[in-house]
A and B are shown apart, each in its own frame.
Chain A
């Protein structure tokens, strides 16, 4: 299967699903990955992201739906006939072959005779030229990971699939490999589909992230879009941290919705609310911890007008260098998190102090109150 350049290299999944007996791993799913993009499937373990990836590779047969690569329907093709290559979790390098032969494997199976030049170039690209005659077990984790990438990329696939490729590496090496993979992707211009449970990894590397939960795509968008405008409580909690407050719709004024929470009022731009808003209805109001400013109750008069505000008392504070993280006890929300940059520290802000929190209404988002307010929290803690 040589790479052919007919049509585009989009990956199109239409109504694809996978069931095992009575368990549905992936609910019917429509997804288009544009050619040349770095696409991440993000979710906790068991959310169906790896199954989705394996259906693109052909290693898993979908229960329903089709997979298209460009104009070609590959649903019925076995993996060895698809112009797609995979970097497996824990790499799956062939232990009985040396690095050179591992990388040459795909070329040889396609009947290409003179592989030496190509393999050497590819090993140069991943900086492993010296290691060509070693066996996989003689390399470090990071080197093995690069061999796995080289072994897949040498075939010039239309799409490169990466199944948690950095999961086995320690944090520092993982950071380094994230940048490395991003560099390689930019250099070769091949579509990358990357499966990960690490939200930071997905946001660092991908152009587009699809957040998956329980076999469904919860939300799809650019990292910044997902972070700033989460549409569900799962996305709000799984990507970073969100403070969610239950509130009641009071009135609408222009483009804003005015909400009642506890004793106070909060303003939410209507455009940033993904839930239906009828007067008297419930809405979850969200705000990210780093968007909030914290002032001592005695200084509440200095807060500008038109800010959303909440009063509370500092329960904990932890100093972590660039910022200080506070947990605030408040009437409207029991554990309100605030991250304050350590620019000018107010000595009065210690546990037990009464404080006022305030933030710009533009940083507020609204979610449907019918959801589980804690969705996505556990999963992240488990990572």
Chain B
């Protein structure tokens, strides 16, 4: 029974690897098909290996423009939602004001509401206001739905923060601005960073709300959707793989940095 014993001992590792495989399989498919040379317009069947698409990622008309637009929107939406969300989170944790309870629960509504409902009602709102649909309406919509996620992430961090730390800073001659910059912000930073990353990811790949409120503007997810009707260029897989690699690189770098820092301290 050596195999059964081995299996028992490594059950957790095996389960972990299977789950990881389940999570990563779609990414593997995307990566593999970025090296495909399809016959016809659809990249759904493996034909032969080729690096053509990687050599010419912007070869498809309009794709890189939409990518750049999505990155811009994601950047500004992240910035806006993070700044506003952090302030809201601090207000909700630190201050007792009227309607605090109501704000606390209303802030979660966008997370719970079906996206398509929100998308349609936003469109109605913009049309009634006579707003020109495009970059700005998309940005406003994105900031709106990213806010709840940032507030949740930052609030958890601020709630676990000992208020005595700020009192200690004040006691040690730090005025309100210094206290915020030197103590409050650095300690809340992991929560703020988590919220910002979440906001970026949500904004970058949002389709439903964007599609309703973009007018004639085309973001990257909209471009992918649109081209999927007529054929899928390999370049979409190239961009997808590149995004995945950037994210992996980001995580690895931060792990290496924190590891090195810990080793220096010890």
Contacts and interface: CB of A to CB of B under 8 A. Distances in A.
Interface of A: 1, 57-59, 78-81, 84-86, 88-90, 92-96, 98, 105-106, 109-110, 133-135, 138, 151-152, 155
Given A92-B165, A105-B169, A106-B173, 15 more contacts: A59-B170, A79-B170, A79-B171, A80-B170, A86-B167, A92-B167, A94-B165, A96-B186, A96-B187, A105-B172, A109-B178, A134-B265, A135-B265, A138-B265, A152-B171
A151 B162 CA distance: 18
Interface string B127-151: 0000000000000000000000000
A129 to B, nearest CB: 16
A80 B173 CA distance: 4
29 contacts: A1-B173, A78-B170, A78-B175, A79-B171, A80-B172, A80-B179, A84-B171, A88-B164, A88-B168, A89-B164, A92-B164, A93-B168, A94-B183, A94-B187, A96-B186, A96-B187, A98-B265, A105-B172, A105-B174, A106-B172, A109-B172, A109-B173, A110-B173, A133-B265, A134-B265, A151-B172, A152-B172, A155-B172, A155-B173
Contacts of B182: 105, 109
B167 A59 contact: yes
Interface in B161-200: 162, 164-165, 167-175, 178-179, 182-183, 186-187
Contacts of A96: 186-187
Contact of B167 (A79, A95, A133): A79
Contacts of A86: 167-168, 171
A80 B171 contact: yes
A36 to B, nearest CB: 21
Nearest to B262: A135
**Which 5 A-B residue pairs are closest in the complex by CB-CB distance?**
A106-B172, A92-B164, A92-B168, A109-B173, A79-B170
Residue with the highest number of chain B CB atoms closer than 10 Å, among A81, A89, A95: A95
A39 B174 CA distance: 27
Contacts of B264: 133
A81 B169 CA distance: 12
A85 B187 contact: no
A92 B162 contact: yes
Given A92-B164, A94-B165, A98-B265, A85 B183 contact: no
Residue with the highest number of chain A CB atoms closer than 10 Å, among B169, B170, B171, B264: B171
Interface residues of B, number: 21
A195 to B, nearest CB: 14
A133 B179 CA distance: 22
B165 A85 contact: no
Q: Chain A contact residues: over half helix, strand or loop, or mixed?
A: loop
Contacts of A88: 164, 167-168
B168 A94 contact: yes
Contacts of B164: 88-90, 92
A134 B265 CA distance: 5
Contact of B171 (A85, A89, A135): A85
Interface string B224-266: 0000000000000000000000000000000000000000111
A152 B174 CA distance: 13
Nearest to A135: B265
B174 A109 contact: yes
A333 to B, nearest CB: 45
A236 to B, nearest CB: 35
B171 to A, nearest CB: 5
Contacts of B187: 94-96
Nearest to B161: A95
Contacts of A79: 167, 170-171
A92 B182 CA distance: 14
A79 B174 CA distance: 9
Nearest to A161: B171
Nearest to A82: B171
A88 B167 CA distance: 9
Contacts of A90: 162, 164
Contacts of A81: 173
Contacts of A109: 172-174, 178, 182
B258 to A, nearest CB: 12
A67 to B, nearest CB: 15
A75 B196 CA distance: 42
A59 B178 CA distance: 17
A135 B186 CA distance: 14
A88 B166 CA distance: 11
Contacts of B170: 58-59, 78-80
Contacts of A133: 264-265
Contacts of B183: 94
Contacts of B169: 94, 105
Contacts of B266: 138
A110 B169 CA distance: 12
B75 to A, nearest CB: 27
Contacts of A106: 172-173
A152 B170 CA distance: 12
Nearest to B164: A92
A28 B174 CA distance: 30
A92 B168 CA distance: 7
Contacts of B186: 96
A245 B204 CA distance: 80
Nearest to A151: B172
Contacts of A151: 172
Given A94-B168, A96-B186, A96-B187, A80 B175 contact: yes
Nearest to A148: B168
B98 to A, nearest CB: 17
Contacts of A138: 265-266
Nearest to B179: A80
